[in-house]
Chains A and B, each alone.
Chain A
Amino acid sequence: AQRVTQPEKLLSVFKGAPVELKCNYSYSGSPELFWYVQYSRQRLQLLLRHISRESIKGFTADLNKGETSFHLKKPFAQEEDSAMYYCALGNSGGSNYKLTFGKGTLLTVNP
């Protein structure tokens, strides 16, 4: 079974401070991990996927298979980063592919 755990429901930091949103997963197959972001009153949108290994809006995330983690990091948080962040795990089901989402972490960046 697939499971995604985001241990922090809420995370509050000050502008300019580093931020780390935690994500741990459980999956017996080869995982594909994503971070989705939902800004206030907007739809979910893809922020990062582990296979692309890119940095978007200053965020990075590294897949650590040993620790089964995919934490999202940014060295200097900005107020516009305030949003709901969801970690998601994809299976390897071909056309039966599905994403399992964590419960999300609400990030607030204070001025």
Chain B
Amino acid sequence: DSGVTQTPKHLITATGQRVTLRCSPRSGDLSVYWYQQSLDQGLQFLIQYYNGEERAKGNILERFSAQQFPDLHSELNLSSLELGDSALYFCASSATGHEQFFGPGTRLTVL
């Protein structure tokens, strides 16, 4: 067990809605990364936080945002949801960045 936890496991919602995905990193890891995994795009890096600050941005839509809190847990907010946002969302944490430990993912289904 890598120690990274994500909630919820599954989320089913409707188009136009807003959801929040939560990630708790491994104890002591300061970096949190968010990824989106879909069948056609594979694993896409969304955003990275390091000790509460945004450090790197990938292919993250403007409708999506994230933050990392003082206790180092992170939340990914997805708004104005579209059918195409249905995917598996992974969080990973790292102490050094060079080895990332992944959570079990949140499967989002937008109907």
Contact = CB atoms under 8 A, between A and B. Distances in A.
Interface residues of B, number: 28
Given A46-B100, A98-B45, A101-B35, 8 more contacts: A43-B103, A44-B90, A93-B56, A96-B55, A97-B97, A97-B98, A99-B33, A103-B41
A86 B43 contact: yes
A46 B96 CA distance: 14
Interface string B91-111: 010101111111111000000
B90 A43 contact: yes
Interface size class of A (residues with CB under 8 A): 20 to 34
Nearest to B58: A98
A101 B43 contact: yes
Interface in B30-55: 31, 33, 35, 41-45, 48, 50, 55
Contact of B102 (A44, A90, A102): A44
Interface of B: 2, 4, 31, 33, 35, 41-45, 48, 50, 55-56, 58, 90, 92, 94, 96-105
Contacts of B42: 86, 101-104
A110 interface: no
Given A95-B50, A98-B33, A43 B104 contact: yes
A49 B56 contact: no
Given A93-B56, A97-B97, A99-B100, A45 B2 contact: yes
Contact of B98 (A42, A49, A86, A101): A49
Contacts of A45: 2, 102
Contacts of B48: 96, 98
Contact of A96 (B56, B98, B105): B56
A20 interface: no
